[in-house]
Amino acid sequence: MIVVMKTDSSQNQLDHIINKLESANLGVHLSKGVQRTIIGVIGERKDKETMKMKIEAMNGVEKVVSILDSYKLVGKEFKPEKSVIDIGGVKIGGEEVVVMAGPCSVENEKQIVKTADAVKKAGAKILRGGAYKPRTSPYSFQGLGEEGLKLMALAKQKTGLKIVTELIDKEYLEIVCNYADIIQIGSRNMHNYSLLKALGNIDKPVLLKRGFASTIKEWLLAAEYVMKEGNHQVILCERGIRTFGEKTRNTLDLSSVPLIQELSHLPIVVDPSHGTGNWRLVSPMARAAVASGADGLMVEVHPQPEDALSDGQQSLTFDNFNKMMSEIVKIAEVLGKKVYSPGVAV
């Protein structure tokens, strides 16, 4: 349930209610908005209706609302205002459409540093790159591991870009946290609940990709696993789902963007690279993603896609990435949002 406090409620009244709930072995999550303070109550009790009436009768309480959805913390009932995730000054969920760009896999120093420099000059604020790569085939390139993370850190040092990289197992949690600004959970791990719980106990943003055959509800519940443990810095990422389509790698479900924004306060970004699997479709779907209201994009970029060790077929060249950035700047402006792209006049 959710406890909505009166606008003139005091801190003492708030503390008294929290103590009452915690003494009943219920979890408490505070959400302080501009006009209202909301207490999210987590846990199950057989006497929940009795508890609800007791809380409603307490000083400072405006109303108590039962949450019907199985996801509690990610829903707008708990937090009506949009969440903005601040990564060292880069804010996802605000008025800017933030672009994350880089290669699918870190291959060597020259490749990652050159790419980081190019995408920054075009307007990206976050460098994406895989060091640990879960691949469908066990014979495919699996990534450089910690050496790849060190190379991303070097690129960050040279360019100032933030880093987002994938975590594939709890075994690598500490190592990845030492380097990454955002921890990415890939499609295959969206249902890895023990991993999601572990991420709930760290103080780093989590970018949670939608499972390739997951419903919106399942996706939101995966985010709930992270938030229930205490980490509310969750960013959702639509990366396409598996359908009967044969001409694309996945079917990019852009309807999920406005739907998520209706159901949840969490920011949502779109990955048109994995969503299509074809570099020719990446820019058109990036434009569509911005038009649908996405808070950001995650795009694969490589200096020589034809020589990439993974996902070259869906990676943009530097020139194509520059062109894409100039296009989405104009679309964002129509919606009252902005895209940082140096040298692009609108």
* Confidence check: pLDDT of 135 > 80: no
* Confidence check: pLDDT of 346 > 60: no
**Rg of the chain (C-alpha set):** 21
Q: Give residue-wise pLDDT tens across range 297-336.
A: 999 999 999 999 999 999 999 999 999 999 999 999 999 9
Q: Please state the pTM of the whole predicted model.
A: 0.87
- Assign a CATH topology to domain 85-334: TIM Barrel (3.20.20)
For residue 166, which of 132, 137, 191, 139 has the smallest C-alpha distance?
A: 132
pLDDT for the residue 35: 67
Structure tokens at 123: 């307007």
Structural domain spans, the chain: 2-65, 85-334
Predicted confidence band of residue 293 (pLDDT cuts 50, 70, 90):
very high
How buried is residue 345: exposed, middle or buried, by Cβ count under 10 Å (0-12/13-18/19+)? exposed
Q: Mean of the per-residue pLDDT values for the chain?
A: 92
Please enumerate in sequence order all residues whose Cβ is within 8 A of that of 230, keeping only pairs 6 or more positions apart, or say none.
Answer: 200, 201
Structure tokens at 205: 């943003």
pLDDT for the residue 279: 98
**Cα separation of 68 and 46, whole Å?**
16
Contacts made by residues 209-213, CB under 8 angstroms, sequence distance 24+: 209/184, 209/185, 209/237, 209/239, 209/271, 210/236, 210/237, 210/238, 210/239, 210/241, 210/253, 210/256, 211/187, 211/241, 212/187, 212/188, 212/239, 212/240, 212/241, 212/242, 212/250, 213/241, 213/242
**Cα separation of 157 and 95, whole Å?**
27
Least confident of 71-85, 241-255, 331-345: 331-345
| Ramachandran quadrant class, 109 (left: phi over 0; alpha: psi -120 to 50; beta: rest) | alpha
**How many C-beta neighbours within 10 Å does residue 48 have?**
15
pLDDT for the residue 79: 84
8 A C-beta contact, residue 107 and residue 80: no
Average of per-residue pLDDT across 120-124? 97
Q: Report helix angle 109-122 to 318-334, nearest 10.
A: 30
Q: Give residue-wise pLDDT tens across range 145-158.
A: 999 999 999 999 99
Query: What percentage of the chain has pLDDT greater than the value 90?
Result: 74
Query: Nearest 5°: CA angle at 102, between 237 and 267?
Result: 25
pLDDT for the residue 25: 85
- Assign a CATH topology to domain 2-65: Alpha-Beta Plaits (3.30.70)
